Amino acid sequence: MKISLLKKKGRYFSVKATGDDALQRIHPDAMFEFSLYEGKELSEEEWRNLLDANHYAFAWESTLRMLSIRAHCEQDLKNKLRQKKHTTKTVNKVLETCKRLELIDDAKFAKAYISELKENGSGLQMIKMKLAKKGVPRELIEKELENSFTKEDELIAAKIAFKKKLPALRREKESLKRKEKLYRCMASKGFNYEIIANIMDSEEFTEL
């Protein structure tokens, strides 16, 4: 096979080879790894290796962009890469690189996410649900919650949720309706009856 067309388009390159009718969009990392130029001869195996390296370069670029925005657990990152139509082979290679470079760590991710959700006023059940939705393994969720989310932590989170709801509660004149509103709000955030009752018995709520 011979490179019959090579043209730079923005950051990337348009490449075509004899024996392959498709015009390929080539990442600069793959371009320079294979030292491409018009007229260069490639075996079919070298062409396949080039395309594999190209898929990886685009997937890696996308991965770094996502990780620069926020941390991801392994399964969450895998799902997003698959949504972008990257092959299983490419996704697995990217994940291996991420783990080797310590760019993803499910335990660290779970601990940080638990802290974030607590500060946002989320209860135990909500945190479990959100971690599971991200793809964190159940055993790891239980372990990190045991280490990082005590009863005292949940009560702190409940007080945060309660304070966010205070303006709406103050506008409600009827005591029973205030309790109903608070209960629905706290239950929707994953707090159990014991925690909700603790908030309802607090001086700040009873004096509304």
Tell whether the model's pLDDT for residue 208 goes beyond 80: no
Distance (Å, rounded) from C-alpha 42 to C-alpha 76? 37
pTM of the model: 0.83
DSSP symbols for the chain: -BEEEEEEETTEEEEEETTEEEEEEE-HHHHHHTT--TT-B--HHHHHHHHHHHHHHHHHHHHHHHHHHS---HHHHHHHHHHTT--HHHHHHHHHHHHHTTS--HHHHHHHHHHHHHHTT--HHHHHHHHHHHT--HHHHHHHHHHH--HHHHHHHHHHHHHHHHHHHHH---HHHHHHHHHHHHHHTT--HHHHHHHHTSHHHHT-
Number of structural domains in the chain: 3
Same domain membership, residue 117 and residue 160: no
Q: Give the residue-averaged pLDDT of 16-38.
A: 91
Same domain membership, residue 171 and residue 138: no
Same domain membership, residue 90 and residue 43: yes
Buried b (16+ CB within 10 A) or exposed e, 74-95: bbbbbeebeeeebeeebbebbb
Q: Give the residue-averaged pLDDT of 131-156.
A: 95
Same domain membership, residue 129 and residue 67: no
By residue range, what is the domain housing residue 66? 3-100
CATH number, residue 76 = 1.10.10.10
Tell whether the model's pLDDT for residue 108 goes beyond 90: yes
Tell whether the model's pLDDT for residue 115 goes beyond 80: yes
Same domain membership, residue 141 and residue 92: no
Same domain membership, residue 74 and residue 134: no
Same domain membership, residue 16 and residue 91: yes
Same domain membership, residue 29 and residue 89: yes
Same domain membership, residue 47 and residue 10: yes
Same domain membership, residue 85 and residue 23: yes
The pLDDT of residue 207 is 82
pLDDT in tens, 172-203: 989 999 999 999 999 999 999 999 999 999 98
Same domain membership, residue 86 and residue 31: yes
Same domain membership, residue 58 and residue 12: yes
CA distances from 86 to 11, 46, 82, 83 (A): 20, 20, 5, 8
Nearest CA-CA partner of 127 in 140, 139, 141: 141
